[in-house]
Amino acid sequence: MKVLDDYNFENKKALIRVDFNVPLNENFEVTDINRIAAAKPTIIKVLEDGGSAVLMSHLGRPKGVRNPDLSLKHICDAVSNVIGVAVKFVDDCVGENAEKAVAALQNGEVLLLENLRYHAEEENGDEAFAEQLSKLGDIYVNDAFGTAHRAHASTTIVAKYFTDAKCFGYLLAKEIQAIEKVMRTGEKPVLAILGGAKVSSKITIIENILDKVDDLIIGGGMTYTFVKAQGGQVGDSICEDDKMELAMEILKQAKEKGVRVHIPVDVVAADDFSNTANTKIVDVDKIPDGWQGLDAGPKTLQNFKNVILSSKTILWNGPVGVFEMESFANGTVSVGNFIDQATQNGAFSLVGGGDSVAAVKQFGFENKVSYVSTGGGAMLESLEGKTLPGIAAILA
């Protein structure tokens, strides 16, 4: 695997695909700098070697139209502040202006190109567009895990024009290593905690990880499809009736493979999907009509704690309750605390997938787990066992 440290960037221009698709407020100010900060070590390595950095990214979904609200010029100051170097900007990512700006770039300088998606060719994976991009650097560095599952011009196609001069940036390399640890090289016992609303969105992940894990915790809305499939009463809880057969098949496969499956035994049930609803603790398979399970109950959390603390490698993908409402956040916060404890005891913990990452940030667990993935869709596709095109392009 070619990584940044395999190259010396002295007198070289690094063409770096970053993921600066950051949120902006109504004044076009960056409201979350995490993605910029995540790319900083890669950019600094290039500059400290005595090279220069040409940064390319998308912002939003302009769909090939020059929407001024989605110009990357809005984030220039934020990037400058985070990396500690004044960042230059050019109003296109290909063509004469871009090529002139790159030619004028001195060692130690950083240039940010305009939004790649102002050109429809970017998302179309256009060869000619990728070739134009390739003229803007001597070495291609992909450090954008969040878009590694897309075969776009800047994430995948451009790599073919850098036969022996392409590598992973520090962030992307860390993402690959974290997933490798969970899926292949992690110390046993390996635990996957899968939450969220629907079984259907996690089928391929479950099927792929059953060969890799020793324990599987199922939480969140998915719980009720499994419980109802086994004859339980789930009241008005979210349930995919058409996936009950599949749930039984998953349990059968897990048993055959020796995977221990842990499903909630009690839940916090509510008489309305509301933070102010009446609540009570009930057995997961005895939820009365008119009530719905919205969080894990105390016995369940004790079971989860025992499993988590006895695991050496932990993947967490999806909350175990409706954490967005304070009344039903306890389960997800408790799981975060258990994972924090396990991590302090030497376990490796990886959190990935939109909602679980949101929960980890909301409740302050970001620095209490081993790694928080920066790519939602890319992370999920990796867990499904797919080879991401942006990664394959560097390995080719």
**Among 35, 45, 166, 368, which one carries the catalytic annotation?**
35
Percent of the chain clearing pLDDT 90 (strictly above): 86
Q: Is 21 annotated as a binding residue?
A: yes
Q: How many residues does the chain have?
A: 396
Q: Is 246 annotated as a binding residue?
A: no
pLDDT at 132: 98
CB atoms under 10 Å from CB of 362, counted, come to 15
- Please determine, for residue 354, whether its predicted confidence score (pLDDT) is greater than 70: no
Query: In the predicted model, is pLDDT for residue 103 greater than 90?
Result: yes
Q: Say if residue 150 carries a ligand binding annotation.
A: yes
Average pLDDT over residues 168-184: 92
Q: What's the rounded mean pLDDT across residues 226-240? A: 97
Is 17 annotated as ligand-binding? no
pLDDT tier at 214 (50, 70, 90 boundaries)?
very high
Decide if pLDDT at 246 tops 70: yes
- 92 annotated ligand binder: no
pLDDT value for 151 = 94
Q: What is the average pLDDT score of the chain? A: 95
pLDDT (0 to 100) of residue 1 = 82
Question: In which order are the strands placed within the sheet that holds 215-218?
Answer: 260-262, 215-218, 190-194, 313-317, 348-351, 371-372
- Reply yes or no on whether 377 is catalytic: yes
The answer to whether 35 is annotated as binding is yes
User: What CATH number does the domain located at 177-383 have?
Assistant: 3.40.50.1260
pLDDT at 353 over 80: no
Candidates 198, 260, 286, 386; catalytic one: 198
The rounded distance, in Å, linking the Cα atoms of 387 and 91 is 34
Tell me how crowded residue 207 is: count the other CB atoms within 10 A of its CB: 15
pLDDT score recorded for residue 356: 86
Average of pLDDT values for 257-282?
98
pLDDT given for residue 381 in this prediction = 85
pLDDT > 70? residue 129: yes
Catalytic-role residue among 64, 108, 354, 385 = 354
pTM of the model: 0.87
Mark whether 184 is an active-site residue.
no
Q: Is 356 annotated as a binding residue?
A: yes
Query: What's the CATH architecture for 4-168?
Result: 3-Layer(aba) Sandwich (3.40)
Please report which residue ranges of the chain form alpha helices under DSSP H. Answer: 34-49, 76-83, 96-103, 120-124, 127-134, 170-180, 203-209, 223-229, 244-257, 298-309, 330-344, 354-362, 376-383, 389-395
Note the pLDDT of residue 355. Answer: 84
Domain ranges of the chain: 4-168, 177-383
Furthest C-alpha separation in the chain:
71
Rounded Cα gap, residues 56 and 53, in angstroms: 10
Q: Is 252 annotated as a binding residue?
A: no
Residue 117 counted as an annotated binding residue: yes
Helix, strand and coil content of the chain, in percent to the nearest 5, comes to 45, 15, 40
pLDDT number for residue 269: 98
**Residue 35 is a catalytic residue:** yes
pLDDT score recorded for residue 183: 87
Residue 376 has pLDDT above 80, yes or no: no
The answer to whether 311 is a known ligand-binding residue is no
* 375 has pLDDT over 80: no
Question: Distance between terminal CA atoms of the chain?
Answer: 10
Catalytic annotation present for 354? yes
Confidence of residue 85 (pLDDT cuts 50, 70, 90): very high
Give the pLDDT confidence score for residue 384 in this predicted structure. Answer: 83
Tell me if 4-168 shares its fold with 177-383.
Answer: yes
Q: What pLDDT, on a 0 to 100 scale, did the predictor assign at position 380? A: 80
Q: Give the residue-averaged pLDDT of 203-217.
A: 92
Chain segment 324-349, per-residue pLDDT in tens:
999 999 999 999 999 999 999 999 99
Judged against a pLDDT cut of 70, whether residue 191 lies above it is answered with yes
- Determine if residue 126 is labeled as part of a ligand binding site: no
